[in-house]
Amino acid sequence: MNPSRLPEHVEGYGPVRAFDGVRPPPDVVSRAAVRTTPCASGRDKLLPDIDAVFAACNIRDGATLSFHHHLRNGDQLLNQVLAVAARRGLRDLTIAASSIFPVHAPLVEHMRTGVVRRLTTAYMSGPVAEAVSRGVLATPAVMTTHGGRARAIEAGEVHIDAAFIAAPAADRHGNASGAEGRAACGPLGYAMVDARHAERVIVVTDELRVAPPTPLDIHQDDVDFVVRIDSIGDPAGILSGTTRPTTEPVGLRIAEAAADVISASGLLREGFSFQTGAGGVSIAAAMFVRERMLRDGVVGSFCAGGVTAAQVAMLDEGLFSNLYDVQCFDPKAVDSYRRDPRHLAMSASMYANPNSRGPLVERLDAMLLGAAEVDLDFNVNVTTGSDGLILGGSGGHADTAAGAKLAIVTTRLTAGGRPKIVERTRCLTTPGATIDAVVTEVGVAVHPSRQELRDRLLRAGMDVVTIEGLLARARALVPEGIEGPPEDSARVVAVVEYRDGRVTDVVRSTPSRRSMVRVGLSQ
Amino acid sequence: MNPSRLPEHVEGYGPVRAFDGVRPPPDVVSRAAVRTTPCASGRDKLLPDIDAVFAACNIRDGATLSFHHHLRNGDQLLNQVLAVAARRGLRDLTIAASSIFPVHAPLVEHMRTGVVRRLTTAYMSGPVAEAVSRGVLATPAVMTTHGGRARAIEAGEVHIDAAFIAAPAADRHGNASGAEGRAACGPLGYAMVDARHAERVIVVTDELRVAPPTPLDIHQDDVDFVVRIDSIGDPAGILSGTTRPTTEPVGLRIAEAAADVISASGLLREGFSFQTGAGGVSIAAAMFVRERMLRDGVVGSFCAGGVTAAQVAMLDEGLFSNLYDVQCFDPKAVDSYRRDPRHLAMSASMYANPNSRGPLVERLDAMLLGAAEVDLDFNVNVTTGSDGLILGGSGGHADTAAGAKLAIVTTRLTAGGRPKIVERTRCLTTPGATIDAVVTEVGVAVHPSRQELRDRLLRAGMDVVTIEGLLARARALVPEGIEGPPEDSARVVAVVEYRDGRVTDVVRSTPSRRSMVRVGLSQ
């Protein structure tokens, strides 16, 4: 939003194409050519271990390895693969992971020793995020959106040498599903894109079956090798965000206000479509929306996203006819995917790729979003905390905000003694032009371009305030205000890309250790 | 098999890479880049009619339009689209259809008038096949295999400007399924490849729904436009081959002998996998195999292919754990696909593309194949009749023969007063090196390279004969023998490609009208 703040070139990243406003996609794009290796007749795809994969795929220094995060904070595959890479003496790898969680802490050491030189991901939290923030990685991390990652892979901007797919169940030919198995995690939506576009595709499973698990998320004709290991991860780690509605009064007030905004917007009518994250406020808001749908006899079309038990319940009640699911957030969602054909898998490209022939995010009526900070231009930061350290990233935040007719940010005025409404976000993740309303415990601010929405909320008797008013209220609560941004001279440790690849911001290194503020965000 | 017979260059086709023996796939292949058009936010994909598609997609002279044949002889989409093309005055189109049936007779006129200049397909029967045989098309038709078609499209050798997908049910965003709707036809396996690789993808449906039909065969992110028309075709036309077991004594004897070959081969054990076509002998043979499996307590792994009620019954009985289905041959198969998650859709590439990372055909134990002619080298012709006219084409014939451990041709010695065992096939569709046994009413001939199979059949007490012996028996029945091939000077009207794109044969024009011999083949 302030392109002048961006450097024109970032060492280790290249020239910066600055974000300068939301634009429609190009008229024509190209899905890149992919080199693949036919599987000669009779060749057995099953390899004894991950080490054998490195030999079979001829993975060398500088290769790009991709991973997906359906097991979230329970994933163990990335760590196991990189341990093998380190043992084999590999250097300068690029890790293209859809998200990074605290469980991936061992990656820090691989960054430090030079096994890993580059990292591109849509979200990171925990030790890796802190290490990146402090400059441990040799090059700036590239922080994409979920849709932007799919776009970049399809366009060939990110060339994956080997995609590692953690499959809760698979057969020895590579047919795999996230619906079955000990570590069942739901549709492997992010991995679907990697499987179609990586030069080598390796399915790693801890439940090797004779018959293919169903529904098939990954098909044998996209898979080079299959490996059985003891454990791909801990399915309990899928539940790494809040998946219950908040019971806390301020959170409930915000949730109800968000539902009021949706009601007042006029969108809560037949065919309504809806997405929320997995946070407690979002789920509470979904429950309020549910009540209104039941009360008014509204039958919606679909819920999308990361799917939780809340959406499954609404599907089961007939409030929606379908779920479109790129990843599950809890076991009830996994179970629904396994048993209910109306619960549809979608790839990350179908979900959010802005250059696809129709991403689902563009069919969303309402989207509930979290925020670490919101500024006077309605810009949202979900990438860094008030201490300057990386605490997340867009995930699908910027994608759904751009796509939804009504993108609502729910946030408290302050958290952890810091204001969340600020003059200017420390980091620009999601452009304010794609945000329609900011819902707080003291009122709703509507983006100035949405006068008609503002009028609707006023007619509905809601507390409509200005964003400046919210800033003033936040400052009154934590009068010290926000700290200044880091020096422009500090090294760039991460480049934040909008879904189309333009750069919205950079993150500069934070050398000293300060307390980290975390917010519960879904990615 | 006789490359010296092939011209080095065919006018309107180009240089001929002669088939000179079965070879493994290349070490590395490339899936071609694809130009696609992002769907800008809010754009409605729904167009009023097919004419609007031509304008929206800017379809011009010389464009390549693709079609799939899941509605088989009931399909009406190809005819409707070409009628529009002709009305718009288009010229020199290439038609890339997975198969052509008698219902596509209007195509003959489009070939005659120059609306259509090129045709590539894996199978053709009826008036179009006859017209091509007589030289009506300006250029030689290219006759591929089902797997070869998928390979050529993925490799970019066949560039599709616009893929027309006849969808029995779809939503306005392009999510489509063959499982539901008035003209439900089963998985849209051939269209899946086109949808991924065409520059423009148009879903045409006669059942436009608010909610997406399931299972999803085609996903919205691959679809540019959606059109609703009155009828995409007559679902009764799906049943265009025999789908009941033969009750005729000679056919039954052949069917039982084929089952005996499978039993004696040693492959009929746990994990057995199996494919047959839809002919009466094949289905009868499947029923004999079923009896043996029940008797011996054998539980197989999967049936593949074109799926009929016979395979569905064996899935329902627990004789197989899965069906892999690229197209359905009858309503019971369609119903099974709709209701049973073990009945899996597969794309043509997953089915048979020799350059994929593992086509299903290579996992087949036994395959039952038909034939118009078999020669002393075990070469099979399913492309032309004894009158020289085109009567079919490989479909999956050459693909499954190459992939299966045991490829069995079932055939009578003669049909329609013509021998079916011949010295040399008029046209080489499927190389003899990929055929293991020829089963007739007077005995089984085993390919000389399969001595171990021959020994097993002898030990099982079967009538093992030589192919020369079969030829002699056939000649004794129809002593006039076969006619000589057409003059080498006659114009080439079709080029027959092996699954890897090398040319096995050419078909030369047959100017005079002679009676056509048809055999029931599945494609």
Within 13 Å of residue A120, how many CA atoms lie on the same side as its CB? 23
- Compare all CA atoms of chain A with the CA of B345 and give the residue at the minimum distance: A216
pLDDT in tens, B226-281: 999 999 999 888 876 666 889 999 999 999 999 999 999 999 999 999 999 878 89
Q: Pick from B40, B210, B358: which is nearest to A173 by CB? A: B358
A40 interfacial to chain B (CB closer than 8 Å): yes
The tokens for B291 are: 């009896």
pLDDT at residue A515 greater than cutoff 70: no
Query: Would the CB atoms of B357 and A38 count as touching at under 8 Å?
Result: yes
pLDDT in tens, A304-347: 989 999 999 999 999 999 999 999 999 999 999 999 999 999 99
DSSP 8-class letter at A24:
P
Share above pLDDT 70 across residues of chain B, in percent, rounded to a whole number? 95
Give how far A346 is from chain B: nearest CA, Å: 9
pLDDT in tens, A66-81: 999 999 999 999 999 9
Q: How far apart are CA B108 and CA B131, in angstroms?
A: 6
- Compare all CA atoms of chain B with the CA of A354 and give the residue at the minimum distance: B38
In this prediction, residues A233-247 reach a mean pLDDT of 81
Mutation site, A35, A200, A223, A357, interface B, largest B CB count within 10 A: A357
pLDDT at residue B438 greater than cutoff 50: yes
Residues in chain B within 8 Å Cβ distance of A40? 24-25
User: CA torsion A264→A266→A271→A274, rounded to 10°?
Assistant: -50
pLDDT of residue B276: 93
pLDDT of residue A521: 43
Q: Among A1-10, A99-108, A381-390, where is mean pLDDT lowest?
A: A1-10
Tell which phi-psi region holds residue A175, choosing left (phi > 0), alpha (psi between -120 and 50) or beta.
beta
Residues in chain A within 8 Å Cβ distance of B346? 219
Query: Would the CB atoms of A36 and B24 count as touching at under 8 Å?
Result: no
Residues in chain B within 8 Å Cβ distance of A215? 215, 341
Q: How does residue B386 score in pLDDT terms, banded at 50, 70 and 90?
A: confident
pLDDT of residue A240: 61
Residues in chain B within 8 Å Cβ distance of A39? 356-358, 362
User: Average pLDDT, whole number, for chain B?
Assistant: 94
Query: Would the CB atoms of B221 and A356 count as touching at under 8 Å?
Result: yes
Q: How far apart are CA B266 and CA A164, in angstroms?
A: 37
Give how far A521 is from chain B: nearest CA, Å: 26
- Compare all CA atoms of chain B with the CA of A321 and give the residue at the minimum distance: B211
Q: Pick from B35, B221, B355: which is nearest to A38 by CB? A: B355
pLDDT of residue B523: 47
What distance separates the 2 farthest-apart alpha carbons in chain B? 72
In this prediction, residues B63-67 reach a mean pLDDT of 98
Query: Would the CB atoms of A215 and B215 count as touching at under 8 Å?
Result: yes
Give how far B156 is from chain A: nearest CA, Å: 10
B98 interfacial to chain A (CB closer than 8 Å): no
In this prediction, residues A377-403 reach a mean pLDDT of 96
pLDDT of residue B381: 97
B174 interfacial to chain A (CB closer than 8 Å): yes
Give how far A304 is from chain B: nearest CA, Å: 14
- Compare all CA atoms of chain A with the CA of B342 and give the residue at the minimum distance: A214
Q: How does residue A178 score in pLDDT terms, banded at 50, 70 and 90?
A: very high
Contact A394, A430 (CB under 8 A): yes
- Compare all CA atoms of chain A with the CA of B34 and give the residue at the minimum distance: A31
Query: Would the CB atoms of A36 and B27 count as touching at under 8 Å?
Result: no
A396 interfacial to chain B (CB closer than 8 Å): no
Residues in chain A within 8 Å Cβ distance of B360? 220-221
Q: How far apart are CA B283 and CA B370, in angstroms?
A: 12
Contact A31, A155 (CB under 8 A): yes
Residue with tokens 């200005």: A466
pLDDT of residue A489: 78
Interface confidence, given as ipTM, is 0.95
Query: Would the CB atoms of B37 and A45 count as touching at under 8 Å?
Result: no
pLDDT at residue A289 greater than cutoff 80: yes
Residues in chain A within 8 Å Cβ distance of B57? none
Q: How does residue B114 score in pLDDT terms, banded at 50, 70 and 90?
A: very high
Contact B253, B411 (CB under 8 A): no
Residues in chain A within 8 Å Cβ distance of B223? 357-358
Q: Among A38-42, A454-458, B519-523, where is mean pLDDT lowest?
A: B519-523
pLDDT in tens, A434-451: 999 999 999 999 999 999
B37 interfacial to chain A (CB closer than 8 Å): yes
B230 interfacial to chain A (CB closer than 8 Å): no
Share above pLDDT 90 across residues of chain B, in percent, rounded to a whole number? 89
User: Average pLDDT, whole number, for chain A?
Assistant: 94
Query: Would the CB atoms of B29 and A39 count as touching at under 8 Å?
Result: no
In sequence order, what are the residues at sequence separation of 6 or more whose Cβ sits closer than 8 angstroms to the Cβ of residue B6? Answer: B16, B18, B503, B505, B506
Q: Pick from B31, B357, B402: which is nearest to A224 by CB? A: B357
Q: How does residue B487 score in pLDDT terms, banded at 50, 70 and 90?
A: low
B214 interfacial to chain A (CB closer than 8 Å): yes
B403 interfacial to chain A (CB closer than 8 Å): yes
Q: Which of residues 56-75 of A touch B (CB under 8 A)?
A: none
pLDDT of residue A519: 40
DSSP 8-class letter at A479:
T
Query: Would the CB atoms of B219 and A346 count as touching at under 8 Å?
Result: yes
A192 interfacial to chain B (CB closer than 8 Å): no
Number of neighbouring beta carbons within 10 Å of residue B449: 12
Give how far A29 is from chain B: nearest CA, Å: 5
pLDDT in tens, A112-167: 999 999 999 999 999 999 999 999 999 999 999 999 999 999 999 999 999 999 99
pLDDT in tens, B316-339: 999 999 999 999 999 999 999 999
The tokens for A271 are: 């065919």
Query: Would the CB atoms of B221 and A29 count as touching at under 8 Å?
Result: no
Q: How far apart are CA A307 and CA A290, in angstroms?
A: 15
Q: Pick from A216, A342, A357: which is nearest to B344 by CB? A: A216
pLDDT of residue A4: 57
The tokens for B269 are: 């054990």
pLDDT of residue A5: 77
* Distances, alpha carbon A115 to alpha carbons A88, A491, B99, in Å: 10, 21, 52
Q: How far apart are CA A290 and CA A301, in angstroms?
A: 13
Share above pLDDT 70 across residues of chain A, in percent, rounded to a whole number? 95
pLDDT of residue B514: 47
In order of start, what are the domains of chain B with their CATH numbers?
A: 40-236 (3.40.1080.10), 249-477 (3.40.1080.10)
* Distances, alpha carbon A231 to alpha carbons A183, A203, B322, in Å: 8, 13, 26
Q: How does residue B485 score in pLDDT terms, banded at 50, 70 and 90?
A: low
When mean pLDDT is compared over A414-418, A478-482, B501-505, the highest value belongs to: B501-505
User: CA torsion A109→A111→A115→A117, rounded to 10°?
Assistant: 180
B404 interfacial to chain A (CB closer than 8 Å): no
- Compare all CA atoms of chain B with the CA of A351 and give the residue at the minimum distance: B221
- Compare all CA atoms of chain B with the CA of A225 and give the residue at the minimum distance: B357
- Compare all CA atoms of chain A with the CA of B202 and give the residue at the minimum distance: A357
Query: Would the CB atoms of B36 and A31 count as touching at under 8 Å?
Result: yes
A25 interfacial to chain B (CB closer than 8 Å): yes
Q: How does residue B313 score in pLDDT terms, banded at 50, 70 and 90?
A: very high
Q: Within A266-405, where are the H helices?
A: 280-296, 309-316, 331-339, 348-352, 397-403
B222 interfacial to chain A (CB closer than 8 Å): yes
* Distances, alpha carbon A475 to alpha carbons A255, A413, A421, A445, A483, in Å: 23, 9, 8, 16, 12
- Compare all CA atoms of chain B with the CA of A155 and give the residue at the minimum distance: B33
**DSSP bridge pairs for A94:** A64, A118
Query: Would the CB atoms of B358 and A271 count as touching at under 8 Å?
Result: no
pLDDT of residue A201: 98
Between B278 and B390, whose confidence is greater? B390
Number of neighbouring beta carbons within 10 Å of residue B105: 15
- Compare all CA atoms of chain B with the CA of A337 and give the residue at the minimum distance: B341
Please give the interface size between A and B, counted as residue pairs whose CB atoms are below 8 Å apart. Answer: 166
Q: Pick from B221, B321, B349: which is nearest to A358 by CB? A: B221
Between B429 and B481, whose confidence is greater? B429
The tokens for B206 are: 């006669």
DSSP 8-class letter at B362:
G
B346 interfacial to chain A (CB closer than 8 Å): yes
Q: Which of residues 315-334 of A touch B (CB under 8 A)?
A: 321-322
Q: How does residue B29 score in pLDDT terms, banded at 50, 70 and 90?
A: very high
Give how far A459 is from chain B: nearest CA, Å: 27
In this prediction, residues A35-55 reach a mean pLDDT of 94
pLDDT of residue B242: 64
